[in-house]
Structure 1
Amino acid sequence: MRFVFLLTVIFLAACNSSSSSSRSGNAPASAAPESPAPDVISRSAVPSGAPPAAFGQEPVLRTNPSWPFKEGAPRTSGTGRYANGAFYWTDFVYDAHGALGPNPPIYRVGTPSGGSYHYPEPDQAGNGADIFRVGIGADSQNSYWRVDWQTMLATEVPIAAFALDYHSGGDDEIPGAGVTAPGIDAVVLLSSAGVTVDFKDGNGPVAIGEFKPDLASRSFVAILPKSLFPIDTQPWTIYLVSGIHDGNGGFLDDNAAFRKLPTQPPVFNAAFRDYEDEAPLNNFWFDQQQATALNQRDISEFSIELDWTRLGETEPEPLVKGYSNRWYVSSLSGEALKDGGQAAGIDRAENPVNQPQYYDQVQPYGFYLPESYREDPANPTVFTWLLHSLTQNHNQYSATVPNFLDGACERLRQSICATTLGRGPAGGYNGAAEVDFWEVWRDIAQHFTIDSERTISSGYSMGAIGTINLMIKYPEVFAGGVVLAGSHADSPLLPCSPGSSGCAEPKGPELLQNLKWNGYYHAHGSFDQLVPFADARATVDAIKDYGYRYVFDHYVAEDHVIWTLKDIAYPAYEEAAKWMVSWLNDVDTRKQRPGNFVYRWEPSAIDERLGVGPQGAWWLSEIKAIDNVDFAQVSVNSGAIGEADIVAVPGSPEFLPPNQKTLSPALRDSQAWQLNDPLPLNGRVSVDLKNVAALSLNLADAGVADRADKQVVMTSDSPVMLTLTALSNGTLVSSSSIREVVSEGRVTLALPAGVDQIINFSQ
């Protein structure tokens, strides 16, 4: 891939467009001051072949010790629920941008936010007023008002104001916030100056109750006497806004520092916005309608209706069909992500593709739940990845190509779909961005019944390249991949681009040998400015030359940038979704246990600290390369697994004509397999090694463990430690002068370099 496309993709900022609707937010809750951690995920939910990062335990978010109720905030942003004495709301994260001012931040040029306010001080971490979760509860003595912040390095930074409408009358002003909503009777303000209540009686805010900040949980809790308000009489309408604290219990209003207009309010975030308020189209951070409302200084559309009599209920977790944002707790955060990184919040450096860029422990991801979804372990739902491109975020596909989302996830396939933020716009699905990928998969598998045996990864541009690289590292995991405007092989026709990673990675087409058992669809435009067509053609040609299956649609009149803005007018999206359907109809599941495969890897891609990188595949594991090499490779074949004799059959060239929605024609070439009868079964396992220092073979999965005629024949260019597993204890394993006895089901042989070394087995 040539990252020379960086500056051009910045051009992808979409036009702002969102719809407004009024809705009071009622929805369900659950709960615990220290909520129990989820169980370690079983390997049946995330496929075998995934790296250790996929199978860890989700960290537990600390709860403010002054909050007396069990936890219950929804995992879906823009929803709420009642549970165990409280009402909970989860807000959209990284949406605290205020109104649209004169100076939008450069760092979000590829994913424009609705608002454009800046955070001037380091302790604001670029995101210090971002509301994450809200809780409102009551017991026999007190009412409790809780705000959790997505980013908080200092309790002095944010301020929150609950505006309460609990009886007829009131007025429209939220004092100090500069915004209005109808019928406000009182305002409860939470800041490091304490909790104050303005009863709108002309006396201003009065210090009442207790204020309990907790930096460890990034949380404010206010405790007020229950007698203060007419609780239990009738449902209340409640609004919530946030900003930067002025140090005296009010909102800081600094036009120059915030880079806002004098007519705009000092509010960065307004809670209680749902998916009717914030339509996904062109809404990368679900803040477009918030920005419009703040420009108009009117937040009356954003409220919840709180019924105090329902606080004893426990509603189920909200289930949003269609597109939404969900969140999970990452194992990584702050400075652990990168040496010299910041403790929390957003890296707002002028470089729009700094990586990582989002440092908080809580991370959002895009999520599509088809209308047909039912929680049924016996009939799990197909699962699909939609990986975003450079400069984009987890909402790229809902914001810019909703018809692709509809085709891939609803109309044609009824699939659960997900897009990670990947810690920012330029992670390339490596390092921390790859950890995000696996931990999101684990989170979805814990909360939904997904069919991980039939997973397809797809993506555009960087997401397409990520799809290729993830399949190369973990071919066992995926049924297939969809590559839109991406490549892997660098063509010999073009020089390496200055400053690109094209020369150093991905190091040529040889790694594509790993994809023998994965389906492959590729679409590319002739005039792609950023990923040259020659590179895409070279990638497909490599797959063709290896004799693998593929479909390649060459769009003769398309480029790299404009097609992302065409959506339904570009048939590649529809064709990609149709290929996903046909491929799974053909193969049913990912390859379970191949009789032969090649596994090539780059030792530099292994990060043991993060638990990601090449692991081996199927019946190959515990791989290690010799020192100081760029690659290592294992080729294996088992005569005990009856693979068909495969003959690659090139497809006839096809012309995909324009239709009534698009004038974009394509030329299709493809390759399929003719499957002939397999050879007679035998117990021979052949192993060919290049630059390999150690490996392990599971002979049961290779089909030979219990065969009397089992034999391993190995060729290696280096000395190697060969471990064989799933054998009977006491079995004598020998090769030349080497003799070892199986113990605890395994044996390790220290073998020299050599050709056709024979390993025999006897009791």
Structure 2
Amino acid sequence: MSQKRRNGDRAEGSPSSPPRPGPDALYGPNPTPPQLENGEGWDADPLLVSGHDAYRDGEYLYQDYVYDDHGADTRRFTAGSPSNADSLGGILSQPTGDLHYPNDGERYSYNGADLLEFRARPTAEGVVYRITLNTMLEPDAAAIAIGIDTGGSDGRTDWGHGLGELGAPVDHVLVTWGTGAELDGEPLEDDRVTVDVRRNQIEVEVPLEPADETWRHYCVTGLWNDDDGEFRQVAVSPDEETPGGLKRGSQNVPPVFNVGFRFDEPYDRHVGALDIGRGLFDVLDVTGIGHNLLDLVWDRSARVLGEGNWREHAQSLALANRDISRFYADIDFQRLREGTTDDASFEAGFHSLLYPSRYYLGEGVDPDHDVLEGRIQPYNVYVPENLDEPAPMVLLLHSLGGAYTQYAVYMPNLVKQLAEAHGAVVLMPQARGPGRWYKREAELDIFEAWRDLETRVEIDRSRVTISGYSMGGFGTCMLAAQCPDLFGRGFSVVGPPSEDPIEGLTGGLLKAPSKLTNDLFGGEGGGDVLNVFAQDPESALEITDNLRHVPMLIWNTVGDPLVPVLSPENYARKLRRHGYRYQFDVFPVATHLSLGIRDQWDRAPEFIARGKVIRNPRRVTYRQVPELDHPEVGLVHDGAYWVSDIVTQDGEDAGLVDALSLADGYGDPNLRRFRRVGQTPQRHLSRGLQWEQPDIDQRRGPENALEVTLEGVAEATLWVEEAGLDTDTELTLRVDSDSEATLTLATAFDTHEIEVSEGESTETVVLDDEAEKKAAAA
């Protein structure tokens, strides 16, 4: 070895402080993207709590959901989409509404009528309304209609402008399409209408005088047809100009994609035997005669598998019935003039929240890749009863084809049991789509949602755990290994250890042909048949080394055709070979979906509740895999705890650092294997490893020494003080490396580069001036 010391000012690129757990996206303030900016006359901060309203700073605000712009319910989920329709995939995240945007992505981006926020305030000349859309590429692509009921007794329910009957009686109808507006059919002056495409905002001032009265408001959005001067009508199938979704031969539905002021959108699921049976009957009954007869005696046909997948179930049924009268806001103009503040509450239960992303990935929806690209993204959170802050947190990841609402819709008991077991807040991110496999933008989404949640609730970072179902189980295995210093425990339910099923079945020995994973069923441009795999499938089998301090609970089933039990068996075998703590429960009479359908989770919440994040353990093992990094969005997984900045050798697939501090002495834990049969939540076989304290004669040290093993590593940084070592005395460094490498020993003030040769070597290192004087005197 040879030593090079840096004193005083650090060289460019040298470490400046110990690494923080997780990526940079988890830290710092939220950004303010254009949609959340306030122009002249507007001061209130946005709510970012969907389905809520408030009075703030003399303004009325309503925050809508995002990506809930699916219009009326026109067909059952078994009927499929109309021809030529492009939309987000995901069997467990289908909306109840059936409208589809025109296939002009440059104008609508499959999200062009998505209401984000509604605001109102009185002015000297009337009332000004501000509408913010989630996506706006052209100023006149969308149309907004605001119905105003001033309390008159003869309000009309046909709003005109191609909207027709809406069931909500109003005295005035304001319609704007960005570049113009009409009030009760009369054009407003140009200076009363402004549109800001950068901010996705339209402002309209109307010459109405509410004084101190309370007026009822309704709001709908759709697409504008400038040629006909009305909302663009819906056809059976969409084309470049016309939206689709109308059921052939059925009556017309309103050309509305989104309705405002929805405060009670429901959650429910339709996955019982009767629901599935009725759905299969509808598929087989091609004539429709049997369906019509059955409807006369038993109306059990589920419109979708889940109500509330995109928080628009009530909206879609109301539009199908042409009656939106239940969706309104009574705006009190006296409170607005008085500047009253009456904010949104954050009570126990499920909440749909929005966060602003730091990254611009595009606009609207990319149906080819199944990605939500906008700067404003949704996530769900469950707040337990009697929240005590700082609170533990459980990160709960959705399945392939699911959404941020999956657990509220399909498995609410899982959420409630995880939360109430130890008063934890449960974070359920969207991950930018239904099937991104928690890489790149999907992983980024998780940490940005987490960052936003911490602006609302104080989270105890020492009590954070992670879990997920199916693809969410895969994400659990991946993120727990990539960021082991963030999580105390992991709980994977029917999760595959690899995105590639062949790799999982063979324990990493073989991989599926690229034709399958990057062509037919996935890849950069989306799969030719289905989007099942993201580009370049990843595997948690590669990085099990990193789970030394993250005990794992793994539940899988024998009757699972999607995740054959051999795959998680291979994953458990890797943990066993490492000597890591795990419990692998196999359910012999369950299937891939049955655990979720039963929604019973005895034992799992107690396991999660015992999770405690280890901050600076005395032994750190970390495998860095460059192909798992995405530096373009700030995601680089190159270390954990007091090991950072691992650089893999050129030509190697991965680099492994196994570093041991003898500061307090160390002995490997004794391993106790167990095997038992359990009955809850249903019959299963458990196998696993537990740690027990090592015998006293097995411990080495204490000694001011580091022992490091390097495999395929070109560079790495070790933070000496975080490893518990004394910088005031000489440090012994013992290294076993399979190639030449550079180790940087970092302290609070200095860094020391150690050139390591291939093979075993030992060196005594002096870390600061005081230690150097002591060494010279000796």
Aligned position for 2:266: 278
Matched, 1:423 2:432: yes
* Secondary structure, aligned partner of 1:289: helix
Q: Distance in 1 between matches of 2:708 and 2:548?
A: 17
Matched, 1:720 2:722: no
Q: Distance in 2 between matches of 1:638 and 1:268?
A: 60
**One-letter amino acid matched to 2:198:** A
**Aligned pair partner of 1:529 in 561, 573, 590:** 561
Matched, 1:666 2:684: yes
**Aligned pair partner of 2:47 in 53, 59, 74:** 74
CA gap 1:414/1:567 in 2 versus in 1, 3 angstroms: farther
Q: Distance in 2 between matches of 1:65 and 1:507?
A: 44
Aligned position for 1:250: 230
Aligned position for 2:527: none
Deviates more, 1:122-131 or 1:412-421: 412-421
TM-score (norm 2): 0.81
Deviates more, 1:256-265 or 1:324-333: 256-265
Aligned position for 2:705: 684
CA gap 1:252/1:505 in 2 versus in 1, 3 angstroms: closer
Contact 1:461 1:485 in 2 (8 A): yes
**Aligned pairs (5 A) from 1:4-23:** none
Matched, 1:386 2:396: yes
CA gap 1:243/1:638 in 2 versus in 1, 3 angstroms: same
Aligned position for 1:561: 593
**One-letter amino acid matched to 2:222:** G
Matched, 1:463 2:477: no
Contact 2:219 2:261 in 1 (8 A): yes
Cα distance, 1:294 vs structure 2? 0.3
**Aligned pair partner of 2:372 in 355, 358, 362:** 358
Contact 2:677 2:683 in 1 (8 A): no
* Secondary structure, aligned partner of 1:541: helix
Q: Distance in 1 between matches of 2:753 and 2:19?
A: 27
1:170-196 deviation line (CA, Å, top 9, x unaligned): 232222322424431111111134121
Aligned position for 2:530: none
CA gap 1:703/1:388 in 2 versus in 1, 3 angstroms: same
* Secondary structure, aligned partner of 2:480: helix
Q: Distance in 2 between matches of 1:64 and 1:509?
A: 44
Q: Distance in 2 between matches of 1:50 and 1:365?
A: 19
Contact 1:475 1:514 in 2 (8 A): yes
* Secondary structure, aligned partner of 2:309: coil
Contact 1:650 1:672 in 2 (8 A): yes
Q: Distance in 2 between matches of 1:607 and 1:303?
A: 44
Aligned position for 2:671: 648
Cα distance, 1:657 vs structure 2? 5.6
Aligned position for 1:753: 758
Aligned position for 1:296: 321
* Secondary structure, aligned partner of 1:95: coil
CA gap 1:502/1:608 in 2 versus in 1, 3 angstroms: closer
Cα distance, 1:346 vs structure 2? 1.0
Aligned position for 1:21: none
* Secondary structure, aligned partner of 2:174: strand
Deviates more, 1:494-503 or 1:545-554: 494-503
Between Structure 1 and Structure 2, how many residues are aligned?
663
* Secondary structure, aligned partner of 1:107: coil
* Secondary structure, aligned partner of 1:714: strand
Q: Distance in 2 between matches of 1:390 and 1:300?
A: 36
The gaps in structure 1 that reach 5 residues or longer are 1-42, 199-203, 335-342, 659-663, 728-743
CA gap 1:504/1:649 in 2 versus in 1, 3 angstroms: farther
Matched, 1:269 2:258: yes
Cα distance, 1:510 vs structure 2? 5.3
Q: Distance in 2 between matches of 1:277 and 1:438?
A: 27
**Aligned pair partner of 2:719 in 698, 701, 721:** 698
Matched, 1:50 2:68: no
Aligned position for 1:127: 111
Deviates more, 1:155-164 or 1:178-187: 178-187
Q: Distance in 2 between matches of 1:558 and 1:164?
A: 54
CA gap 1:288/1:597 in 2 versus in 1, 3 angstroms: same
**Aligned pairs (5 A) from 1:627-638:** 627-638=650-661
CA gap 1:503/1:647 in 2 versus in 1, 3 angstroms: farther
CA gap 1:222/1:249 in 2 versus in 1, 3 angstroms: farther
**Aligned pair partner of 2:178 in 189, 192, 207:** 192
Aligned position for 2:301: none
Matched, 1:580 2:564: no
Contact 1:83 1:314 in 2 (8 A): yes
**Aligned pairs (5 A) from 1:614-629:** 614-629=637-652
* Secondary structure, aligned partner of 2:381: strand
**One-letter amino acid matched to 2:45:** G
* Secondary structure, aligned partner of 1:364: strand
Matched, 1:173 2:154: no
Contact 1:64 1:221 in 2 (8 A): no
CA gap 1:526/1:89 in 2 versus in 1, 3 angstroms: same
CA gap 1:306/1:280 in 2 versus in 1, 3 angstroms: farther
Contact 1:402 1:567 in 2 (8 A): no
Matched, 1:513 2:541: no
Q: Distance in 1 between matches of 2:145 and 2:536?
A: 52
Q: Distance in 2 between matches of 1:422 and 1:465?
A: 13
* Secondary structure, aligned partner of 1:255: coil
Q: CA RMSD in A?
A: 2.5
Q: Distance in 1 between matches of 2:182 and 2:413?
A: 48
Cα distance, 1:634 vs structure 2? 0.4
Contact 1:193 1:249 in 2 (8 A): no
**One-letter amino acid matched to 2:456:** H
Matched, 1:347 2:366: yes
Aligned position for 1:207: 188
1:117-173 deviation line (CA, Å, top 9, x unaligned): 011132111111110011011133342101100111111111111101112312322
Q: Distance in 2 between matches of 1:612 and 1:192?
A: 39
Contact 1:551 1:671 in 2 (8 A): yes
Q: Distance in 2 between matches of 1:370 and 1:627?
A: 49
CA gap 1:329/1:229 in 2 versus in 1, 3 angstroms: same
Aligned position for 2:95: 113
Aligned position for 2:33: 61
Q: Distance in 1 between matches of 2:574 and 2:724?
A: 30
**One-letter amino acid matched to 1:665:** R
Cα distance, 1:235 vs structure 2? 1.4
Q: Distance in 1 between matches of 2:148 and 2:347?
A: 27
1:392-424 deviation line (CA, Å, top 9, x unaligned): 1111111111111121123x3321111211111
Aligned position for 2:147: 163
Contact 1:620 1:697 in 2 (8 A): yes
Cα distance, 1:512 vs structure 2? 0.9
Cα distance, 1:314 vs structure 2? 2.1
Cα distance, 1:561 vs structure 2? 3.2
CA gap 1:680/1:748 in 2 versus in 1, 3 angstroms: closer
**Aligned pair partner of 1:146 in 130, 136, 142:** 130
* Secondary structure, aligned partner of 1:514: helix
The gaps in structure 2 that reach 5 residues or longer are 1-15, 237-241, 270-305, 499-503, 518-532, 767-771, 774-778
CA gap 1:64/1:579 in 2 versus in 1, 3 angstroms: closer
Q: Distance in 2 between matches of 1:507 and 1:414?
A: 33
Cα distance, 1:497 vs structure 2? 4.2
Cα distance, 1:267 vs structure 2? 0.9
1:608-654 deviation line (CA, Å, top 9, x unaligned): 22111313111111211111211110011111034454101112412
Contact 1:382 1:451 in 2 (8 A): yes
**Aligned pair partner of 2:458 in 449, 461, 468:** 449
Contact 1:459 1:483 in 2 (8 A): yes
**Aligned pairs (5 A) from 1:595-610:** 595-610=618-633
**One-letter amino acid matched to 1:286:** R
Contact 2:620 2:641 in 1 (8 A): no
Deviates more, 1:68-77 or 1:204-213: 204-213
Cα distance, 1:54 vs structure 2? 2.0
